[in-house]
Chain A
Amino acid sequence: QSALTQPASVSGSPGQSITISCTGTSSDVGGYNYVSWYQQHPGKAPKLLIYDVINRPSGVSNRFSGSKSGNTASLTISGLQAEDEADYYCNSYTSNSTPVFGGGTKLTVL
């Protein structure tokens, strides 16, 4: 199963909104509503931000939101803050009955 496609990097200024895309196929992102997003700060374990495309776990800021259209899922971060600077990964269930991660996106807060 090939990794999902994410932009290598995105950037934004404090207060702005940014969107990270995650493109797959009808065999993963497009075929199931099991897309999740993770945030990873340097030297730390990943943290679950979004699951089942749009749901936020308890304790995750509502500045983080998820969506999906066709074979592409998106993570939007509104009101960008310095602490949001991190790597972000998407993940999807696949037709192989296994999950697959995206390649990751480095977010820089200018």
Chain B
Amino acid sequence: EVQLLESGGGLVQPGGSLRLSCAVSGFTFSSYAMNWVRQAPGKGLEWVSDISGSGGSTYYADSVKGRFTISRDNSKNTLYLQMNSLRAEDTALYYCAKVRSILERLSGVFDIWGQGTMVTVSS
């Protein structure tokens, strides 16, 4: 069974840091690009970041560029999101999501989603 399991969320003060993890099982992790998508409380979905299957190529939304870093460890089947200089507007449920096709990276087509991990930035 394909499964994505996020962890690492919590309460952090403005300016602080947090690292999210997404443990993957059920498919060949290294073959697929992976993404982070977030959803602020009561709000819509916002794409955050993408990383290629090898980890050699990354993309970020302008809202997080320079503050967040996406990475992956294919030997551990795990995706990460290092979040620095956190702001109140980063408060959201963070989902990891698998790209549906090897050929459709950055197309916004995500066929498998985790259940999300909540990040709250507040003093």
Which one, A36, A45, A51, A101, contacts B46 given CB within 8 A? A101
A97 touches B104 (CB 8 A): no
* B19 contacts partner chain A, Cβ-Cβ < 8 Å: no
A52 touches B62 (CB 8 A): no
Interface size class of B (residues with CB under 8 A): 20 to 34
A52 touches B106 (CB 8 A): no
* A93 contacts partner chain B, Cβ-Cβ < 8 Å: yes
B50 touches A46 (CB 8 A): no
Q: Which of A88-110 contact B (CB under 8 A)?
A: 89, 91-93, 97-104
What 1/0 flags go to B28-72 for Cβ under 8 Å of A?
A: 000000000100000011110010000000010110000000000
The majority secondary structure among interface residues of chain A is strand
Minimum Cβ distance to chain B for residue A22 (Å): 12
Distance A103 CA – B42 CA, assembled complex (angstroms): 11
Distance A1 CA – B107 CA, assembled complex (angstroms): 14
Additional A-B contacts beyond A91-B47, A93-B108, A101-B37 (18; CB < 8 A): A3-B44, A34-B107, A34-B108, A45-B95, A45-B113, A45-B116, A47-B113, A51-B100, A51-B107, A51-B111, A52-B109, A91-B108, A93-B106, A97-B106, A99-B108, A101-B47, A101-B108, A102-B44
